C-alpha cells in the first residue's frame, strides 16, 4: 500500500515537472513572439523590461529663422545614466570638467531611476572632453529646450493626441511609422506645417541592463535614430531672431501684458517678427495665452480712418476741403475736443471723428461697398497670410489661425447713419487683425502693391538642400493710383509731424509715418485698445510696424514707448 502511494506521488511530481517543462518550452521557444490572445512579443517585452532609454530628439522637423538658426533652443547638456552609482567610473574627472565637486555629483544620483540631465550650458570644450572619455552612461549632448522660446505664438505648440494622429495620417499609422506617442501640431506653424514636420521616429540612447542596472554582456549604450541626410525636414521661416528678440524685449519692457507687435519687411512682405502677449504655458498649450492675438480681429479704432481717407482721395475729395472738428462724431453736438475747422489732411493728423463720418456718409451713398473695395486695394479685403494650392492641399495657409476681416455685420447697417458713422471710425462691428493692419501699412509704403504676407520661405531637407519654396504672391489685381498712394503717404507722415504721434515719435532716428487709434469697449470697461500702425524710414521704407495694447488705461502710452524702442533698436542694428 505504501509502495503504491509513493509511486502515485512520484507520478504526480513527474507530471508537474513535465507541465513546467512544457510551459517553459511554450514561453521560450514556441510562442516567444506571439504569446496569449494579445500576441505579446515576449522577447521584445523582456528586452524592454531591462532597457534604460533616454530620448535626445523626438524626430520632429526643425523650424529655422531666415539665417538658418533653429528657433527652438538646443542646450548643451550633461546626461547621466543611473547605473553609474553602482559602478566604477571617472567621477572625479567629469566633476573637474564641469567645475563641480565629486561629492555633489555623486549625490545627484539619489532617487534617480531614469537617465537625467545633470547640468546644462556646457561649453564646446567641456562637451568634447566629456565625450572623449568614452564612458558608458556619460554623455554630453544637445538637448532641445522650450523654456523662454522666442516667437512662441508664431511657432505654435505640439502635443500627443493618438486619435487625431491616427485620423489625420492613417497610412503612416498602419505602417507603424507613428504611434500614440507621436506629437502633432495644434497651433501656429507647428499646425500649418504638421504634415512636413511630423516625426517618424526619434533619436534615443538605449542601454540593456540587468535587475541591478548593470550592463548586460558588456554592451555599451547605443544610439538609435531613423533620421538620415534628408529627413526630418526643416522649415525655413522669414523671421529674424535678432529682430524678434528686439520686438519681445520692447513689448515686455514697455509693460504691455495683453497685446503685441507685428513687423513686416516691406520689399518682400515677409514677416520679420511677431509678438503676442500674454505668453502661454508650454505644459498647457491650450490654456491661458494660447491664442496668437496678432492674427485675431479687434476694433481698430481710428487706424481704420486710413481706409476712408484712401476712398476719399480716390473719389477726388480735395485736401483743402474743411470740416468742423469741434463737433462730435454724429455731428449733432459738441465733441470731446475743440479742434476748430481743419482741412482733410489735418483732420486725419489729429484724428477728427466728424470729418470721417461726414465723408463715409457721402461715399456710401455713391457706392454701398466702397469700404470693402478700398480695403481690397489696401491688401486687407480678406485674410492676408500666404495661401495657395500645395500638393493635395487645395487651400494651404501659412497662418491657419488667422481671422477674416469684418466691416459691416449686416447690409442693412449701410443705410443706418449711426452705424455708418461708427464703422467709419473703426468701431461697432469692424474687426481687423494686427497682421492685416501691418499689411495695409506695408502696401501703402510699397507704393500701393498689395501682397500676401509670408512667414515661411522654404522647406529644406536635413542637408539644407531645397525641398520646395514659397514664392511671393500678390493679393488682388486692383490697386490704388500712384497719386492716391502719394497722398496717403503724406497724410500718414503728417500724423507724426504735427498730429497725434508728434509727442512720442517725432524725434526717432528714422522718420516715421503712421496712424494712431483708440477703440472704446463700452462705458463700464476701464480700459480700451490703443494702436499705432506705421512704417519707416519715410523716404525709403523698409519696415511696416504695428503695436497694440488691448488693456490700455487712461494716460498710459505703452504703445508709443514700445514702437519707439523697436524703431531705435532697428536703427542700431543697421549701424
Tell me how far apart the alpha carbons of residues 159 and 181 are, in angstroms, rounded to a whole number: 9
Q: 163-172: long-range contacts at Cβ-Cβ below 8 A with a sequence spacing of 24 or more?
A: 168/194, 169/195, 169/198, 172/198, 172/200
Q: Which three cell numbers stand for residue 214?
A: 548593470
35: phi then psi, degrees, rounded to nearest 5: -80, 135
Residue 209 near residue 238, CB atoms below 8 Å: no
DSSP 3-state of 356: helix
Tell me how far apart the alpha carbons of residues 26 and 437 are, in angstroms, rounded to a whole number: 71
Q: Which three cell numbers stand for residue 196?
A: 512636413
* Terminal Cα-to-Cα distance of the chain (whole angstroms): 110
β strands within 411-461, DSSP E: 456-460
Pairing between strand 51-57 and 203-208?
antiparallel
**Neighbouring residues of 108: CB distance < 8 A, sequence distance ≥ 6:** 80, 116, 118
The catalytically annotated residue of 77, 272, 302, 564 is 302
Residue 495 near residue 265, CB atoms below 8 Å: no
**Neighbouring residues of 224: CB distance < 8 A, sequence distance ≥ 6:** 203, 204, 206
Sign of CA dihedral 96, 91, 52, 223: positive
Residue 372 near residue 381, CB atoms below 8 Å: yes
Residue labelled with grid coordinates 520646395:
468
- Cα 252 to Cα 213, 247, 278, 279, 300: the distances in Å are 48, 9, 10, 11, 22
Q: What is the DSSP letter of 282?
A: T
302 is catalytic: yes
C-alpha closest to that of 541 among 435, 445, 450 = 445
Q: What is the DSSP letter of 294?
A: G
**Neighbouring residues of 275: CB distance < 8 A, sequence distance ≥ 6:** 151, 153, 244, 247, 248, 251, 260, 261, 262, 294
HSE toward the beta carbon, residue 434, CA cutoff 13 A:
29
Q: Which three cell numbers stand for residue 298?
A: 479687434
- Cα 446 to Cα 135, 214, 440, 483, 508: the distances in Å are 60, 67, 10, 13, 21
Alpha carbon 164 to its chain's center: 21
Task: Provide the annotated active-site residues.
Answer: 302
Amino acid at each position: 500500500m505504501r509502495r503504491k502511494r509513493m509511486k502515485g506521488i512520484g507520478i504526480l511530481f513527474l507530471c508537474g515537472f513535465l507541465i513546467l517543462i512544457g510551459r517553459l518550452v511554450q514561453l521560450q521557444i514556441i510562442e516567444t513572439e506571439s504569446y496569449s490572445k494579445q500576441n505579446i512579443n515576449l522577447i521584445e517585452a523582456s528586452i524592454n523590461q531591462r532597457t534604460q532609454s533616454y530620448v535626445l530628439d523626438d524626430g520632429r522637423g526643425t523650424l529655422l529663422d531666415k539665417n538658418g538658426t533653429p528657433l527652438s533652443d538646443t542646450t548643451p547638456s550633461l546626461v547621466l545614466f543611473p547605473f553609474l552609482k553602482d559602478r566604477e567610473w571617472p567621477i572625479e574627472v567629469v566633476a573637474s570638467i564641469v567645475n563641480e565637486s565629486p561629492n555633489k555629483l555623486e549625490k545627484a544620483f539619489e532617487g534617480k531611476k531614469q537617465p537625467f540631465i545633470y547640468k546644462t550650458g556646457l561649453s564646446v570644450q567641456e562637451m568634447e572632453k566629456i565625450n572623449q572619455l568614452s564612458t558608458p552612461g556619460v554623455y554630453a549632448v544637445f538637448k532641445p529646450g522650450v523654456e523662454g522660446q522666442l516667437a512662441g505664438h508664431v511657432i505654435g505648440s505640439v502635443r500627443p493626441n493618438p486619435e487625431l494622429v491616427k485620423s489625420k495620417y492613417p497610412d503612416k499609422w498602419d505602417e507603424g511609422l507613428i504611434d500614440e506617442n507621436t506629437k502633432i501640431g495644434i497651433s501656429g506653424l507647428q499646425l500649418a506645417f504638421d504634415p512636413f514636420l511630423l516625426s517618424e521616429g526619434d533619436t534615443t540612447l538605449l542601454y540593456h541592463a540587468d535587475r541591478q542596472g548593470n550592463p548586460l554582456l558588456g554592451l555599451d549604450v547605443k544610439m538609435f535614430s531613423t533620421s538620415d541626410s534628408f529627413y526630418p525636414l526643416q522649415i525655413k521661416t522669414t523671421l529674424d531672431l535678432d529682430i524678434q528678440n528686439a520686438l519681445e524685449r520692447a513689448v515686455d519692457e514697455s509693460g504691455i501684458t495683453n497685446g503685441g507687435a507685428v513687423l513686416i519687411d516691406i520689399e518682400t512682405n515677409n514677416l520679420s517678427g511677431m509678438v503676442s502677449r500674454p505668453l502661454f504655458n508650454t505644459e498647457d498649450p491650450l490654456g491661458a495665452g494660447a491664442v496668437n492675438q496678432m492674427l485675431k480681429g479687434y476694433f481698430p479704432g481710428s487706424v481704420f480712418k486710413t481706409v476712408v481717407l484712401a476712398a476719399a482721395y480716390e473719389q477726388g475729395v480735395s485736401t483743402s476741403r474743411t470740416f468742423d472738428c469741434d463737433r462730435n462724431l454724429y455731428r449733432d453736438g459738441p465733441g470731446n475736443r475743440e479742434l476748430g475747422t481743419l482741412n482733410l489732411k489735418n483732420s486725419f493728423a489729429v484724428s477728427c471723428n466728424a470729418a470721417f463720418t461726414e465723408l463715409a456718409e457721402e461715399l456710401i451713398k455713391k457706392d454701398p461697398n466702397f469700404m470693402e473695395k478700398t480695403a481690397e486695394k489696401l491688401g486687407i479685403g480678406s485674410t492676408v497670410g500666404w495661401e495657395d494650392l500645395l500638393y493635395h492641399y487645395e487651400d494651404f495657409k501659412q497662418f491657419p489661425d488667422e481671422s477674416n476681416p469684418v466691416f459691416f455685420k449686416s447690409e442693412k447697417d449701410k443705410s443706418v447713419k449711426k452705424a455708418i458713422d461708427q464703422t467709419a471710425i473703426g468701431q461697432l462691428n469692424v474687426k481687423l487683425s494686427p497682421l492685416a493692419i501691418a499689411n495695409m501699412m506695408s502696401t501703402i509704403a510699397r507704393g500701393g502693391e498689395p501682397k500676401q504676407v509670408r512667414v515661411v520661405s522654404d522647406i529644406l531637407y536635413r542637408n539644407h538642400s531645397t525641398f520646395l519654396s514659397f514664392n511671393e504672391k500678390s493679393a488682388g489685381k486692383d490697386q490704388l493710383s500712384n497719386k492716391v498712394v502719394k497722398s496717403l503717404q503724406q497724410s500718414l507722415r503728417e500724423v507724426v509731424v504735427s498730429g497725434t504721434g508728434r509727442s512720442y515719435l517725432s524725434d526717432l532716428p528714422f522718420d516715421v509715418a503712421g496712424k494712431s487709434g483708440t477703440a472704446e469697449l463700452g462705458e463700464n470697461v476701464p480700459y480700451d485698445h490703443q494702436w499705432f500702425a506705421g512704417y519707416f524710414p519715410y523716404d525709403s521704407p523698409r519696415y511696416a510696424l504695428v503695436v497694440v495694447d488691448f488693456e490700455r488705461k487712461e494716460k498710459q502710452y505703452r504703445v508709443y514707448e514700445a514702437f519707439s524702442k523697436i524703431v531705435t533698436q532697428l536703427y542700431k542694428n543697421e549701424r
